[in-house]
Chains A and B, each alone.
Chain A
Amino acid sequence: MMPDLGKYAFAVLSSYGVTIILLSVIVVISFWRARKVRAALDEIENRRGN
């Protein structure tokens, strides 16, 4: 299944590896911060509502 990358395996796999890591980091951070900020806003709005 894995294509034969020959002598360029390091260059190709490193490129894909770095890309997957960086994209995963920005996606995870974006969701994590979205959740955190939403929870903080909900808490303040509930407090003000009471």
Chain B
Amino acid sequence: MSLWEYANPVKFIRTTDKVLPWVWALTGICLVTGLVWGFFFTPDDFRQGSTVKIIYIHVPSALMAINAWLMMLVASLIWIVRRHHVSALAARAAAPVGAVMTMIALATGAFWGQPMWGTWWAWDPRLTSFLILFLFYLGYMALWEAIENDDTAADLTSILCLVGSVFAVLSRYAVNFWNQGLHQGATLSLDKEENISDVFWFPLLVCIAGFVLLFIALVFLRTQTEIRARRTRALLAREGQA
């Protein structure tokens, strides 16, 4: 069996229909467990006090903001190379989810930054690249809406996605390129010395799993919708011609 079989819209809908209830159930379990654990059962940080609880939503949402764009990049490349409609529609379906994740990361970052840095916003490399990434999400969604022909829209948005990937990568590595910003380095590190304490780390992992699963569930659901919407447009166009 080849992975490309799922590029068939009918096969994609049939398979995701079977998987979706399980993904939603796991999403609920991980999100509720992680957030309740993090919010109610973890101690305050010795320096940041109770604001450390923001980590359970800020880090997973920021992670998904970047990874959603990278998923869109892969889907766009598949569209450009192999012209599979499902991949272009999956990229389209993922964009609003990624935009919401970016909004959450920006908003929670501002709420966290105000008491810690004394400011809601700074033109720091990571914050700025995140803001630009958010604008790219808006531009990407607007471009899909602005073009009537689905294939042309998929072509142009794929190119925009390639360009925006620079900022998705910058958002991740900006703190390593430029050291003059307010934002700290990587929160999650394989280096035991650098990584956060286990008492924060384990609930954070559960929250990250919850956000990843939520993204997958939403992208499956929204891709199904985009496939049906495309078929509806095609049928209406045929009726119009008849």
Contacts and interface: CB of A to CB of B under 8 A. Distances in A.
B232 A1 contact: no
Contacts of B40: 1, 3
Contacts of B97: 26
Interface residues of A, number: 32
State which size class the interface on B falls in: 35 or more
B64 to A, nearest CB: 11
A26 B57 CA distance: 16
Contacts of B214: 23
A41 B236 CA distance: 10
A3 B36 CA distance: 11
Interface in B87-130: 96-97, 100, 103-104, 107-108, 111-112, 114-115
State the main secondary structure of chain A at its contact with B.
helix
A37 B89 CA distance: 15
Interface in A1-37: 1, 3-9, 11-12, 14-16, 18-19, 22-23, 25-27, 29-31, 33-34, 37
B228 interface: yes
Interface pairs A-B: 6 shortest CB-CB = A5-B50, A15-B108, A15-B111, A34-B225, A19-B57, A11-B111
Given A26-B96, A26-B218, A33-B225, 16 more contacts: A6-B50, A12-B50, A15-B111, A16-B35, A18-B107, A19-B104, A22-B107, A23-B214, A26-B100, A30-B221, A30-B225, A34-B221, A37-B229, A41-B228, A41-B235, A48-B239
